Amino acid sequence: MANPGGGAVCNGNLHNHEKQSDGSPSGNCAKNGIVREAQQNGKPHFYDKPIAESFEEAPLHVMVFTYLGYGLGTLFGYLRDFLRSWGIEKCNAAVEREEQKDFVPLYQNFENFYTRNLYIRIRDNWNRPICSAPGSRFDVMERVSDDYNWTFRFTGRIIKDVINMGSYNFLGLAASYDESMRTVKDVLEEYGLGVASTRHEMGTLDKHEELENLVAKFLNVEAAMVFGMGFATNSMNIPALVGKGCLILSDELNHASLVLGARLSGATIRIFKHNNMQSLEKLLRDAVIYGQPRVRRAWKKILILVEGIYSMEGSILHLPQIVALKKKYKAYLYIDEAHSIGSVGPTGRGVVEFFGLDPRDVDVLMGTFTKSFGAAGGYIAGRKELVDYLRVHSHSAVYATSMSPPVAEQIIRSMKFIMGLDGTTEGLQRVRQLAKNTRYFRQRLNEMGFIIYGNEESPVIPLLLYMPAKVAAFARHLLNRKIGVVVVGFPATPLAEARARFCISAAHTREMLDTVLENLDEMGDLLQLKYSRHRKSARPELYDETSFELDD
């Protein structure tokens, strides 16, 4: 690590030692130190403890009732569709213009059955508008519906200071203006908002260059390129990397943007089971041995598409195993670190650092700035050849408007903050605070007997609700108690596995988390959500200030 970015990491390292010397047992210090050193020497160092992930199955009766719930909903849906078609029930949905009634219908009747009859009943729990920064608390605009959720009316009242458990504000960097954002303001005043051109034409600003250099430094790679939208970073760059005659091995739970990018590329796509290394290895083996179907030509290249943290499962990628597999079978690895960058790893460098690996083991490091950095856009980083190639061939670089300068500045500011280049260790403390909050929250939920999914270090925490009616009740009750949660159901999750998802932030204080936990506890009893059958005994709290160890 010859570059000055290394300085920042070393800075963190020093800080680590300081922190550890004031309380934690030394074993972990050493280990933490090794991780750092390993990175400095560029030698991979495996994360040597078992990956603690749980995906507990629901009891049978829960599944039965869940399907029963959907069955009933569907039955009533048919009944009401019938009533609507006979004009007995008023249809509130927007309808086709008279003049175009004889066109081929824009939507097939069954296409919207689910939306019209099931989603609509509980749709007040999504798209809730807010009117403040998405910090640890936010203000929700109260809205009511006079026609059973077909339309909403704002009452003009504002529900103040709702605890935000929904935004991906991992490091608490999305907040309303304060002095630390001065540079963003300056850039806004100097540059304006738009760019009005593409990277290839007249839209490469000095700000973009500065940002790209910083991203490369932050990730400890040779080069990086940034794009204006996270979603488009995937969907517009994967087609530049692979094409016909190439094979994409994609995790079954990959984000829509990865799926779209893979489809647009024209490569053959095969799906492996979520985070399942046996499944991946089998596909890899078969691909290399048997080549392309029918013609039996060897594949040109194989690209493995995975995410760092899966946003609906809370699981963390099994990176060491994947790297080993990819090396064995000479495949290329593309990691989408949308949720993991800034949020895991001792200094927030994402899953690569989390497992103590060398960033060079990963061919394409992709991530977004929307979450931890409180901005917008995405990046791709890796070897210089890769980034140079993308500069020329990325769809985004040629056809899409480049990133807004104040947004770029927000990323620069956040990244410097995390790296400690602002001269404080506050960024590092935030990363640690996040890890601490995550473990505390997960621990307590486990103790209460909820089924929660994912890795115990992942700040994305899905809590399983299963039944559609409980989804609505859960979100509505919690909003009444001034807690904003995200609930997700089909089609984002399997039909029977509707869930609530908490995103832990470093900005959450212990009081806030305790308030949320208390309410969840009550809610769990009220709605009977404590499905877990290996309920843990209420252990004494392990993770208070003094005994907490970051890298355990």
Partner 1 sequence: MATAAEQWVLVEMVQALYEAPAYHLILEGILILWIIRLLFSKTYKLQERSDLTVKEKEELIEEWQPEPLVPPISKDHPALNYNIVSGPPSHNIVVNGKKCVNFASFNFLGLLDNPRVKAAALASLKKYGVGTCGPRGFYGTFDVHLDLEDRLAKFMKTEEAIIYSYGFATIASAIPAYSKRGDIVFVDRAACFAIQKGLQASRSDIKLFKHNDMTDLERLLKEQEMEDQKNPRKARVTRRFIVAEGLYMNTGTICPLPELVKLKYKYKARIFLEESLSFGVLGEHGRGVTEHFGISIDDIDLISANMENSLASIGGFCCGRSFVIDHQRLSGQGYCFSASLPPLLAAAAMEALNIMEENPGIFSVLKEKCKRIHKALQGISGLKVVGESLSPAFHLQLKDSTGSREKDVKLLQEIVNHCMDRSIALTQARYLEKEEKCLPPPSIRVVVTVEQTDEELERAAHTIKEVAQAVLL
Site for partner 1 in 463-502 (CB under 8 A): 484, 486
Residue 151 dihedral angles phi and psi, to the nearest 5°: -135, 160
Binds partner 1 (CB under 8 A): choice among 62, 122, 174, 504: 174
What is the nearest approach in angstroms of partner 1 to the Cβ of residue 231? 4
What is the nearest approach in angstroms of partner 1 to the Cβ of residue 249? 13
CA distance 113 to 209: 49
Binds partner 1 (CB under 8 A): choice among 167, 275, 315, 347: 167
- Binding of partner 1 at residue 107 (CB under 8 A)? yes
Site stretch for partner 1 (CB under 8 A), options 36-44, 402-410, 452-460, 529-537:
402-410
Binds partner 1 (CB under 8 A): choice among 58, 62, 122, 181: 181
What is the nearest approach in angstroms of partner 1 to the Cβ of residue 81? 18
Site stretch for partner 1 (CB under 8 A), options 12-20, 69-77, 122-130, 519-527:
122-130
Cα dihedral across residues 349, 352, 355, 360: positive or negative: negative
Binds partner 1 (CB under 8 A): choice among 58, 62, 163, 195: 195
Tell me, what amino acid is at 136?
Answer: S
- Binding of partner 1 at residue 224 (CB under 8 A)? no
Is residue 208 within 8 Å of residue 403, measured between CB atoms?
Answer: yes
CA distance 322 to 281: 9
Binds partner 1 (CB under 8 A): choice among 18, 147, 161, 385: 385
Site stretch for partner 1 (CB under 8 A), options 38-46, 196-204, 418-426, 527-535:
196-204
- Listed residue (55, 119, 102) closest to 315, CA to CA: 55
Cα dihedral across residues 513, 518, 524, 526: positive or negative: negative
Is residue 385 within 8 Å of residue 421, measured between CB atoms?
Answer: no
What is the nearest approach in angstroms of partner 1 to the Cβ of residue 37? 29
- Binding of partner 1 at residue 375 (CB under 8 A)? yes
Q: Select 319 or 364, whichever has its Cβ closest to partner 1.
A: 364
User: Can you spell out the DSSP letters for 389-429?
Assistant: HHHHH-HHHHHSB---HHHHHHHHHHHHHHHTTTS-SHHHH
Binds partner 1 (CB under 8 A): choice among 52, 196, 495, 542: 196
Burial class (CB in 10 A: 0-12, 13-18, 19+), 55: middle
- Binding of partner 1 at residue 252 (CB under 8 A)? no
Structure tokens at 525: 């009893």
What is the nearest approach in angstroms of partner 1 to the Cβ of residue 516? 15
Q: How many CB atoms lie within 10 A of CB 300?
A: 13
Binding mask 67-96 for partner 1 (x = CB under 8 A): ---------------------------xxx
What is the nearest approach in angstroms of partner 1 to the Cβ of residue 38? 25
Contact positions with partner 1 (CB under 8 A) in 297-336: 298-303, 328-332
What is the nearest approach in angstroms of partner 1 to the Cβ of residue 481? 16
Helix (H, G, I), strand (E, B) or coil at 384: helix
Site stretch for partner 1 (CB under 8 A), options 28-36, 192-200, 313-321, 344-352:
192-200
Contact positions with partner 1 (CB under 8 A) in 408-427: 410
Contact positions with partner 1 (CB under 8 A) in 29-58: none
Binds partner 1 (CB under 8 A): choice among 66, 343, 370, 458: 370
Binds partner 1 (CB under 8 A): choice among 30, 52, 72, 392: 392
User: Can you spell out the DSSP letters for 281-324?
Assistant: HHHHHHHHHH-STTT-PPPS-EEEEEESB-TTT--B--HHHHHH
CA distance 496 to 136: 30
Is residue 308 within 8 Å of residue 337, measured between CB atoms?
Answer: yes
Residues touching partner 1, count (CB under 8 A): 123
- Binding of partner 1 at residue 144 (CB under 8 A)? no
Contact positions with partner 1 (CB under 8 A) in 268-287: 285
Is residue 433 within 8 Å of residue 502, measured between CB atoms?
Answer: no
Q: Select 319 or 397, whichever has its Cβ closest to partner 1.
A: 397
- Binding of partner 1 at residue 189 (CB under 8 A)? yes
Q: Is 464 left (phi over 0), alpha (psi -120 to 50) or beta?
A: beta
Is residue 145 within 8 Å of residue 126, measured between CB atoms?
Answer: no
